[in-house]
Homo-oligomer: A and B are copies of this chain.
């Protein structure tokens, strides 16, 4: 019974290692439709081929977060099967839209390792890249996780902690080739608010909420071929399956349509914390804060930096307690850049 994948342990990682993740995946109109059944996703660029063409793209891409989840899912068997915590994201960029028919694969390079003082776990940093069938990088991001050691006698490696940007610079953001908002249709997009209408520091309560069901988050997580047992097996998690953090991200982002309908494309992921675990029965609500705004290299296309917060039940608007820890009903604190018509 030794043919199954035990996953990697902390001592199995070393800086410079490149992991070629298994099972490439072709994404189609089927994944696109499922994304719209699983999340209240309504951003027009991803909903209508005609709207996308009117914005200079050949058709609607696969939702930006769906593409992220496919790439992320590939990494799970190699990165996080024995992870005890998902610690952070940084320097995430969407470099090329993914279209129905594209086939994605993923690679990760280990860019940092640091054993914890307890000698039982360590932190591993990887830079993951998702490629399409033309070997073009479509997505890249850094993630770091805490991983168990299997052999407690394995010597601690030399600590390497990568120097990561707190946030991407606007000039790091890639505007998809051809994207053009000069004929942007604000009636069809659902709201009239442009880039110029948002102010740094402004917060938006996205009003709506979704109470999550077990069947839904499992369908979503499997769709991305993320098969980590914590998400599926109630004998392993008798108090409730742990919901894949990406499910919360997609739900919150979809809810943010109401108030941010024109924040069309996610192009940068500056950071993110899964502040508390999410379980079936929780009602996900979301609010956003405008953190920054910037021009892009393309006239008419602005970049907006947003904090996206998901909570259970809608409160609080204060994220952390006095001790600096997230309040117990905060689920997600995400920091991203999106493109908007100016």
Contact = CB atoms under 8 A, between A and B. Distances in A.
Nearest to A258: B4
B233 A24 contact: no
A33 B189 CA distance: 26
Interface stretch (A85-93, A146-154, A205-213): A205-213
A40 interface: yes
Interface string A1-37: 1011100000000000000101111101111111011
A229 to B, nearest CB: 5
A20 B225 CA distance: 37
A4 B211 contact: no
A241 to B, nearest CB: 7
Interface residues of A, number: 79
Which of A23, A223, A225 is the most central at the interface, judged by chain B CB atoms within 10 Å of its CB?
A: A23
A261 to B, nearest CB: 8
A191 interface: yes
Which of A77, A101, A215, A236 is the most central at the interface, judged by chain B CB atoms within 10 Å of its CB?
A: A215
A30 B37 CA distance: 10
A96 interface: no
Interface string A29-72: 11111101111101010011111000000011000000000000
A133 interface: yes
Given A49-B26, A258-B4, A227 B40 contact: yes
A283 B225 contact: no
A93 to B, nearest CB: 23
A23 B188 contact: yes
A23 B47 contact: yes
A192 to B, nearest CB: 9
Given A4-B204, A211-B233, A214-B215, 6 more contacts: A20-B188, A22-B189, A23-B44, A36-B225, A42-B225, A209-B232
24 contacts: A4-B204, A4-B258, A5-B190, A22-B190, A23-B42, A23-B47, A23-B48, A28-B29, A30-B32, A37-B222, A39-B222, A40-B225, A40-B232, A77-B190, A105-B188, A207-B229, A209-B232, A209-B235, A211-B233, A211-B234, A216-B218, A216-B219, A234-B281, A235-B313
